[in-house]
Amino acid sequence: MTGFDEPSPTQTALLLLGRGSDSGSERGVDCPGDLPPASDPSLLERARVAKESLGDRLFVLGHHYQRDEVIQFADVTGDSFKLAQQAAARPEAEFIVFCGVHFMAESADILTSESQRVILPDLAAGCSMADMATGPQVEQCWTDLTEAGVAEQVVPMTYMNSSAAIKAFVGRHDGVVCTSSNAKRALDWAYERGEKVLFLPDQHLGRNTVVREMGFDLDDCVVYNPLRPNGGVTAQELRNAKIILWKGHCSVHGRFTVDCVNEIRERKPDVNVLVHPECTHEVVEAADYVGSTEYIIKALDAAEPGSSWAVGTELNLVRRLAHQHPDKDVSFLDRTVCYCSTMNRIDLPHLVWALEELVAGRVPNQIVVEADEAKAARSALDRMLTLP
Ligand code: 13P
Ligand code: SF4
C-alpha cells in the first residue's frame, strides 16, 4: 500500500489543455513516418535497443512531470533548472532528446553548441503558461512602462517557463531568467540593479517569492494584464509598484484551492501540505512547505516514515513519489486528479519513434532557436546559471 489516493469512480481524470500557438497544436504534424501504436508490446524493448545503439551520442533529459514509461529512459531527471544545467554540461552528446515541454527544449538548444541537436519527441508538448506572454505583448508592455516613466527603473525577469522570444527580450534589456528553485536569488540580483522588476509570465511565482521570502506587501505588487489597454493599470500604480507581475498562470497548479487544503486537513489532521510555488498565493499561505519539483522530491526523501503528505503539483510526479515512499502516506492535494496534458504528450510511442528515427540517421522534431534570438536569450540564461 502506498497510501496514494487513487481516483475514485466519481473522480474525473482531467488533462488540462495548453492553448495558443506556442503550445504546438498549430505547429503542425509532429511525427512524419510511423508512430508505433501504444498497444505494441515491444515498445519497451524497442526503446532500450534504440537507446543502446545510440550510446554516448545520445543524452536523454526527463522532467519530473513526465510519465513513468518515459522517465525510465532518462539519463538525468530534474526540475527545469537542473535540466538546463545538465544540457549545458554535455558538449559531447550529439543528440539531446528532451522529455519535457517546448520551452525547456528551446533553452537546451540555446545552451548547447551548434553541432548538438535538441529533439522534442512530440512538438505538441507546449506549455499554456509560456503561451500567455508573446513577444509583441511584452514589447507593448515595455512601451507602456516607458510612457509611464518607469521603464528605466525596471529590470525584466522571466520564469524559465517562457518562449525563447521572451527570454531574448529579457536578455536585450539586461534582465535574467529564473526557475522555481532560484527565483529569490534572481530577484535579489535584479533589485541590486533596479528599483522595480517586471516578472514574466507567472504572476504566482513572482508574488509568492517577493511576499513569502522577501517581506514585500501584497500592495507592492501590481498585475499587468496584456489583454487590456495599458495592461489595465494606471501610470501611478506602475510608479507605486515594486514588482509588476505579468497576468499569467499555470492551469495545472491553478486547480489547487484553499478548500483542497482545508479538506485534507480535516480528513488527515497530521498532514503536511507541500505545494509548488506556481500555486496561488492563498494556497501557498495555507500550505506548510513550498518549493520546486526538486525541493518536493527532497522533502519527501527526508520525511519521517509514517508521516502524512498532501502534495500540490503535477500528478505524474505525485504518483511516482507515492510509489517510491510506501512507508509514508502521500496523496494528491486535489480530489480531482489532473495531469499536465502537454507534459503527457511525450509518451513511449513518441519516444520510441524519435529514438528509432535517430538510429535510422534522421533527426526528428529538432528544436532550433534562431541565432540572434538565441544569443540574446543566452545572456539572460547565463546570468541565471552564474547566480551565486
Ligand atoms: P520546476 O521543475 O522548475 O519546479 O517547474 C515546474 C514546471 O512547471 C515545469 O513546467
Ligand atoms: Fe506549463 Fe503548468 Fe504544464 Fe508546467 S505544469 S508545463 S507550467 S502547464
CA of 320 from ligand 2 middle (Å) equals: 18
The residue length of the chain stands at 388
Q: How far is CA 279 from CA 63, 156, 205, 379, in A?
A: 19, 22, 8, 29
Residue 341 CB less than 6 A away from ligand 1: no
Identify the H or E element spanning 48: helix 43-54
Final residue belonging to a domain, choices 207, 224, 250: 250
User: Looking at residue 6, what is its pLDDT?
Assistant: 42
Q: Which ligand approaches the C-alpha of residue 79 most closely? A: 1
Please tell me whether residues 80 and 190 are part of one structural domain.
Answer: no
Nearest CA to ligand 1 atom 10: 161
> Please, what is the Cα angle at 28 between 130 and 93, to 5 degrees?
70
Please tell me whether residues 244 and 257 are part of one structural domain.
Answer: no
Of ligand 2's listed atoms, the one at least distance from the Cα of 127 is 1
Which of these ranges, 21-30, 126-135, 263-272, has the smallest mean pLDDT? 21-30
Q: What is the pLDDT of residues 341-353, one digit of tens each?
A: 999 999 999 999 9
Residue 313 CB less than 6 A away from ligand 1: no
* Average pLDDT of the residues in 261-281: 98
Non-local CB neighbours of 280 within 8 Å, separated by 6+ positions: 204, 249, 254, 256, 257
5: Cα separation from own chain's centroid: 25
Q: Is residue 79 part of a domain?
A: yes
Higher pLDDT, 22 or 90: 90
User: Looking at residue 110, what is its pLDDT?
Assistant: 95
Q: Is residue 324 part of a domain?
A: yes
Tally of domains within the chain: 3
Please tell me whether residues 198 and 146 are part of one structural domain.
Answer: yes
Higher pLDDT, 20 or 51: 51
Please tell me whether residues 135 and 245 are part of one structural domain.
Answer: yes
Across the chain, what does the average pLDDT equal?
92
Q: Is residue 208 part of a domain?
A: yes
Find the CATH number of the domain harbouring 260.
3.40.50.10800
Residue 292 CB less than 6 A away from ligand 1: yes
Indicate whether 195 pLDDT > 60. Answer: yes
Range of the domain at 83: 43-126+344-369
Residue 122 CB less than 6 A away from ligand 1: no
Nearest CA to ligand 1 atom 1: 79
Q: What is the pLDDT of residues 224-233, one digit of tens each?
A: 999 999 999 9
Q: What is the pLDDT of residues 67-77, one digit of tens each?
A: 999 999 999 99
User: Looking at residue 14, what is its pLDDT?
Assistant: 41
Please tell me whether residues 217 and 154 are part of one structural domain.
Answer: yes
User: Looking at residue 163, what is its pLDDT?
Assistant: 98
CA of 360 from ligand 2 middle (Å) equals: 32
User: Looking at residue 336, what is its pLDDT?
Assistant: 83
Please tell me whether residues 308 and 244 are part of one structural domain.
Answer: no
Q: Which ligand approaches the C-alpha of residue 63 most closely? A: 1
* Average pLDDT of the residues in 159-178: 98
**Considering the entire predicted model, what is its pTM?**
0.91
Q: Is residue 259 part of a domain?
A: yes
CA of 238 from ligand 2 middle (Å) equals: 28
